[in-house]
Amino acid sequence: MRSWWSKIFGDSSALCWFCQSPRPKVIGNPIWEQLCAGCTEKRKMLAYPQCRVCGKPNSIDDSFCYDCQRTPESDRVVNISCVEYNHWARLVVQQWKYRGDERLSRPMGLWMASLIKQRFLHMDRFMITYVPCHRKRVYERGFDQAKQLAHIIGAQLHVPVVDLLVRQSYQDQPQSKRSRDQRLQALVGTFSYQGKQMDSSGQSVLLVDDVYTTGSTVRECAKLLRKANFQPVACTFARTNSEYV
Ligand SMILES: [Zn+2]
Ligand SMILES: [Zn+2]
């Protein structure tokens, strides 16, 4: 039986969901607080105000950031992210994605679900889809990461998850290692739409991905979803907070 002390001040047996170090446990604390002191110090929440489109922290207000000003209005996609893609977030994503640590999907997905609930509550009817991996990549890694996040978010928010996109080309080099121009070039024809054509416009769809860097992947997928009469918005676990790379 737990002591009155641990009921009030926490249970020292709780572990950080990322590095497995002991952490204080307080009943009901959100997933971003279920980290050890070291991870809490290293993770960086995205400051407000943010660009009203892509979620990049702005110093003054929620006006369009420089990146979004350069993007044609019809291509802009509203994106929200949980954390800044700093050294800590990169370690989380690397361990999850490249070392195949599937256990991280759940805390990452719960974190995203909580942000979606807070920011996209006004969307009364929406479905969830994701930026898919190529089938060869799924075979190599053992799971489709964004799909797994989408299903965790869907289950948490009671929202259906649909497979709408398919990745056609298999990249031997991860997007994160490419320059901006190489990235844009490599994305042409990468995805195709595989869902049904929607009868009426106005169906909101939430596009899930792990990292938002330049936003080019999200915009490319959103383009296909718009063609099928969806209204896409995006949620990514982490986003960079620097100028275009
Ligand atoms: Zn930790
Ligand atoms: Zn922006």
Query: What pLDDT score does 32 carry?
Result: 93
Q: Which of 150, 32, 10 is nearest to 82 (CA)?
A: 32
Distance of CA 175 to the CA centre of its chain: 15
Which ligand lies nearest to the CA atom of residue 64 in the structure? Answer: 2
From the CA of 161, how far away is ligand 1's center (Å)?
A: 30
Query: What pLDDT score does 9 carry?
Result: 53
From the CA of 51, how far away is ligand 2's center (Å)?
A: 5
- Is pLDDT above 50 for 244? no
From the CA of 70, how far away is ligand 2's center (Å)?
A: 9
From the CA of 97, how far away is ligand 1's center (Å)?
A: 18
CA distance 131 to 145: 9
Q: Are strands 191-193 and 165-167 parallel, antiparallel or unpaired?
A: antiparallel
Calculate mean pLDDT across residues 23-47. Answer: 92
What is the per-residue pLDDT across 200-243, written as a single tens digit (0 to 9) for each? Answer: 567 899 999 999 998 999 999 999 999 999 999 999 999 998 75
From the CA of 163, how far away is ligand 1's center (Å)?
A: 33
CA distance 54 to 67: 9
Query: What pLDDT score does 37 carry?
Result: 94
What is the per-residue pLDDT across 108-154, written as a single tens digit (0 to 9) for each? Answer: 999 999 999 999 877 768 899 999 998 888 888 888 999 999 999 99
Name the band, by pLDDT with cuts 50, 70 and 90, for residue 5: low
Taken in order 15, 17, 21, 26, the sign of the CA dihedral is negative
My answer on whether omega of the bond before 49 falls inside 30° of 0, hence cis, is: yes
From the CA of 58, how far away is ligand 2's center (Å)?
A: 9
From the CA of 64, how far away is ligand 2's center (Å)?
A: 5
The pTM assigned to this predicted structure is: 0.89
From the CA of 40, how far away is ligand 1's center (Å)?
A: 7
- Is pLDDT above 50 for 245? no
* Residue recorded with tokens 């640590």: 101
Query: What pLDDT score does 138 carry?
Result: 86
From the CA of 12, how far away is ligand 1's center (Å)?
A: 14
**31 φ, ψ (degrees, to nearest 5):** -60, -30
What is the per-residue pLDDT across 42-101, written as a single tens digit (0 to 9) for each? Answer: 999 999 999 999 999 988 888 999 989 999 999 999 999 999 999 999 999 999 998 889
From the CA of 152, how far away is ligand 1's center (Å)?
A: 22
Which ligand lies nearest to the CA atom of residue 18 in the structure? Answer: 1
From the CA of 114, how far away is ligand 1's center (Å)?
A: 20
Which ligand lies nearest to the CA atom of residue 50 in the structure? Answer: 2
What is the per-residue pLDDT across 149-196, written as a single tens digit (0 to 9) for each? Answer: 999 999 999 999 999 999 988 765 566 666 767 776 777 789 999 987
Which ligand lies nearest to the CA atom of residue 244 in the structure? Answer: 2
Domains of the chain: 1-42 (no CATH), 45-239 (3.40.50.2020)
Q: Which of 206, 224, 223 is nearest to 109 (CA)?
A: 206
Which ligand lies nearest to the CA atom of residue 16 in the structure? Answer: 1
